[in-house]
Structure 1
Amino acid sequence: MEDNKRNVIVTGAAGFAGINLVMELLDNDYEVFAVVRPGSAHNARLEDLNNERLHIIPLEMDELERLPYEIFERFPELTDEDEGFESFFHLMWGGDRNDFEVQKINVVGAIHAVRAASMVKCRRFIGIGSQAEYGATRKIQTEDLSPVPVTSYGACKAAACYLTKNLAESLGMEWIWARIFSLIGRYEPHGRMLPDLVYRASNGMKMDLSSCRQSWNYLDVTDCARALIALSERGKEGEIYNITDGKCLTLKQYVERANAWVYEKTGKMAEIAYGDDPEPFISLQPDGSKLLRDTGWKPCRGFEDSLQEYCTK
């Protein structure tokens, strides 16, 4: 590795949000140590980048406590007193949202990640939270709102938030928690609403949805990556941040906007059948002013920019 490189660690680096963060970090001249699940087909995304500043480390969630040994064995120069890491981005998380036993494993993994970050002399730990921590509240979702999660996923994300903060403080390491809302764009997997809608609309197919009455906020995953880097560089230690531009429409408005966009491109559109309200009725009203105020971050990509990604795979 070259001298004066800014070293960072990203767990879950081959996932939807992770790969976009890695790509943005590399574009900003960071040296990236990417932790991935061994054998995942998604790891090819990182391998295809073919970047000498990218170092791939395969480890399972329950192996994260081994990460410092893996790093120091491969890169002994990082044991020097003047070396270390700028930030540790912990995105690795898995399992069904309502599988409590699996979600508990994620909490333990997050604790191991904090300990690993401390052992490699990391300046700042950035944990990735979720809008699921807020639950089904009808209030504007500001960072000081008490979590009322309605899924095991949301409950365990909230638990990880408080536990990682407490542990990071005890280890003398800076800590930030970034709550992501709904991301769209490059590498978004099929089976989610927008990529499936674009596909069905492009082929003139029918799509069954809920009532789509709920308020929602979409943010391009590249803008999310830029926000996480901004928090690494300029965020305030010990704070929770909503990763959002705060601009909301109803899901139905987003659906109709996407359907119309496809029609302009292809002359085809989906036949949408709206159904009942989902249960629980999650309606997002996130406040993103704290992120903007503390870091100066602003989104660069619009909704249609994100839709274009589903047509270029």
Structure 2
Amino acid sequence: MRTLHRAIVTGATGAVGTALVRVLAERDIAVTVLCRPGSVRRENIPQHPRVRVCFADLTRLREAAVELDDSCDAFFHLAWTGTVGAARNDMFQQNKNVEYALEAVELAASLGCKIFVGAGSQAEYGRVEGKLCADTPVFPENGYGIAKLCAGQMTRIACAQKGIQHVWARILSVYGPYDNPNSMVMSGISALLRGECPRYTPGEQEWDYLYSEDAAQALLLMAEKGKSGMVYPLGSGQTQRLKNYIAAIRDAVNPALPVALGALPYPENQVMYLCADISSLTQDVGFRPRVSFEEGIQKTVDWAKGR
């Protein structure tokens, strides 16, 4: 088991990043967050005596070493640009993300990090049937998925060259406070809180959702106990039909509110089943999700009401 005293986190302003910073700090691990100068979401970073913020652009990560005079044990690289919409197929932008990930390895090496944990994506797999495992064949269908796959492979080799251990998490659907406002979960919560009727497909898809705090706990466990060179699919390991998730979201806001299931057609090439096989993750690091979807959604709704 690796003992962590100090950690670096990039991409700390979203659902997973904010939860990870909080989990690390509560474990008495000193956290340095690398945040883009001028980031409109920098206020999302948890305030804690064990957390400090260093402003560093992704394009100049190696230069951050000048300000980071302490050695570090773990580097969590979650930052990524172009994660939604047309930007996912902006090949030049996605290719830059691979460069940024390699720059993160260079910075991790200069700080003496023992372990590099990178945030991959289900998009690396493309369209597959059955549960997603580490050895499931990968056929990504967009620039985002291709770049995530490339970043995972290249950072693994770069880390080996630098003597750093490497773990790659292929993250499925995570929800929680500070999630993307356009996600299915957050857009539904926002619409219901405004008294609107959100519109959905028939909702027969079977998906795997994981609460952000559980995802953060998994990333910490990977840093402490993960096998170097491993790819770990990260989800709850269980599915429900999308319409059941939608009902839980509605019930957490107000059970009397309507939702419009079937108001939208399924998109072309809709993925109907998505689930992580977390058996290797459980076996290697002891991870088991602790927060049910209903509990996590209630926490997320309560957070959204307080915004």
SS of corresponding position for 2:89: coil
Question: 2:123·2:144 contact (CA, 8 Å) conserved in 1?
Answer: yes
2:79 to 77, 81, 92: 92
Q: Structure 1 residues 290 and 206, CA, compared in 2 at 3 Å: closer, same or farther? A: same
- Number of the residue aligned with 2:281: 291
**Are residues 1:27 and 2:6 paired?**
no
Once the 2 structures are TM-superposed, how far is the Cα of residue 85 of structure 1 from its aligned partner? Answer: 1.7
User: Which residue type is aligned with residue 21 of structure 2?
Assistant: V
Match of 1:75 in 2: none
Task: Give aligned-pair identity as a percent.
Answer: 31
The ranges of structure 1 where at least 4 consecutive aligned residues each deviate by more than 6 angstroms after the TM superposition are: none
Q: Who is 1:301 aligned against?
A: 291
Q: 2:92 aligns with which of 85, 101, 104?
A: 101
Size of the alignment, in residue pairs?
Answer: 296
Mapping of 1:227-242 within 5 angstroms? 227-242=218-233
Alpha-carbon distance, 1:5 to partner = 7.7
Query: Relative to structure 2, which stretch is displaced further, 51-60 or 100-109?
Result: 51-60
In structure 1, C-alpha distance between the alignment counterparts of 2:66 and 2:269, rounded to whole Å: 44
Note the residue ranges of structure 1 that are not aligned, 5 or more in a row: 73-77, 79-83
Match of 1:168 among 152, 159, 168: 159
Separation in 2 of the partners of 1:147 and 1:176? 17
Selected match of 1:119 from 110, 120, 140: 110
SS at the partner of 1:34? strand
The CA distance in 1 between the partners of 2:175 and 2:249, in whole Å, is 12
> Kindly tell me: are residues 69 and 280 of structure 1, through their superposed partners in 2, closer, same or farther at Cα, counting changes over 3 Å?
farther
- Structure 1 letter corresponding to 2:74: S
Deviation, 1:210, is 3.0
In structure 1, the partner of 2:137 is 146
Q: Deviations over 1:227-271 (max 9, x none)?
A: 00011111111111111221011222222332344333xx32333
Q: In the alignment, does 2:58 pair up with 1:67?
A: no
Per-residue CA shift, 1:173-200, capped at 9, x if unaligned?
1000011100111112322211222233
Q: Deviations over 1:106-159 (max 9, x none)?
A: 000000001110111100011110011011112321111121111110000000
Where does residue 190 of structure 2 map in the other structure?
199
Instruction: Summarize the Cα distance change of 1:263–1:52 in structure 2 as closer, same or farther, 3 Å threshold.
Output: closer
Check whether the contact 2:174–2:235 (CA below 8 A) recurs between aligned residues: no
Q: What residue number does 2:302 align with? A: 311
TM-score scaled to structure 2, two decimals?
0.91
Structure 2 letter corresponding to 1:227? A
Match of 2:149 in 1: 158
Counterparts of 1:276 and 1:154, CA distance in 2:
24
- Report the secondary structure of 1:241's partner residue: strand
Pairs within 5 Å for 1:240-251: 240-251=231-242
- Contact 2:14-2:180 at 8 Å conserved across structures: no
Letter in 2 for 1:133: E
Distance 1:285 1:225 in 2: 18
How far is the alpha carbon of 1:26 from its aligned partner?
0.5
User: Is the contact made by 2:72 and 2:113 (CA closer than 8 Å) also made in structure 1?
Assistant: yes
**1:68 deviation in Å?**
1.6
Could you tell me the TM-score, scaled by structure 1's length? 0.89
CA distance in 2, matches of 1:178, 1:139: 18
The answer to whether the 8 A contact 2:202-2:261 is kept is no
Task: Judge conservation of contact 1:203–1:269 (CA < 8 Å) in 2.
Answer: no
- Give 1:226 deviation, angstroms: 0.4
Per-residue CA deviations over 1:3-24 (Å, capped at 9, x if unaligned) read: x980100011222221111011
1:81 corresponds in structure 2 to none
Q: Which of 259, 267, 271 does residue 260 from structure 2 map onto?
A: 271
Q: 2:30, 2:51 within 8 Å by CA — same for their partners in 1?
A: yes
Q: Give the Cα separation in 2 of the matches to 1:61 and 1:224.
A: 23
Q: Is the 8 A contact 1:212 1:274 kept in 2?
A: no
